[in-house]
Amino acid sequence: MQQSGAAGGRGCALFPLLGVLFFQGVHIVLSLEIKADAHVRGYVGEKIKLKCTFKSTSSVTDKLTIDWTYRPPSSSRTESIFHYQSFQYPTTAGTFRDRISWVGDVYRGDASISISNPTLKDNGTFSCAVKNPPDVHHNIPVTELTVTERGFGTMLSSMALLSVLVFLPSAVVVVLLLLRMARKSAGLKKRSKSGYKKSSIEVSDDTDQEEGDDCVARLCVRCAECLDSDYEETY
């Protein structure tokens, strides 16, 4: 191969992106594949997860390291925000101080982290690097994070969902109550035309029905009060 010949007298050529090492005509595959979401969208004040997974041909040991870095938009400056080697070491300085949490599991190939209380200033590029000796040569995926304020449309959809959850049961109760009242009214008209007189048992049943209708009515009022309180909390 031309690549191996370019190594000169050392007889060695290294291809970090492919994870292939050629040494004295023998190639050794160092397979460490890392994947991360290319784009992540989040909202101000709501926790964001930056997902990163990896696959290694070697077993996980205490030599495995994970490093997350951040680069602001339109800048070449990068800063380390998280380091892992047997233990978690989130940054204790800078913009992300006390806001980075470990949510991964190295034994499942998960190197994910989360950001608490994100702001618009957190927009930028995040890189996830994993090394699991002897698998140390790999691609370094990047994630573009976009943090925005929740728009009016999102708030409106949340309010609509809340309205459905509150109004639907109330509407069902009201419809059942109206049907029951209509049937009762039709029965009374029919009996009055025929000169029918109620027995003492039927009078007792009507009293029970009135009490039940009163309970249903109170339930409807209570649902309306809950709706009002929910809207007050929303605003």
User: What are the beta bridge partners of residue 48?
Assistant: 115
Alpha carbon distances (Å) from 101 to 16, 89, 97, 112, 134: 29, 9, 10, 9, 27
Average of per-residue pLDDT values in the chain: 76
Is pLDDT larger for residue 3 or for residue 74?
74
Is pLDDT larger for residue 168 or for residue 219?
168
Q: Return the pLDDT at 193.
A: 61
* Neighbour-count burial of 185, counting CB atoms closer than 10 A to its CB (0-12 exposed, 13-18 middle, 19+ buried): exposed
The pLDDT-based confidence of 176 (bands split at 50, 70, 90) is confident
Question: What domains can you pick out in the chain, each with its CATH number?
Answer: 32-151 (2.60.40.10)
Count of other CB atoms within 10 angstroms of residue 123: 15
Q: Return the pLDDT at 27.
A: 47
Residue 20 has pLDDT above 80, yes or no: no
pTM of the model: 0.56
The pLDDT-based confidence of 12 (bands split at 50, 70, 90) is very low
The pLDDT-based confidence of 3 (bands split at 50, 70, 90) is very low
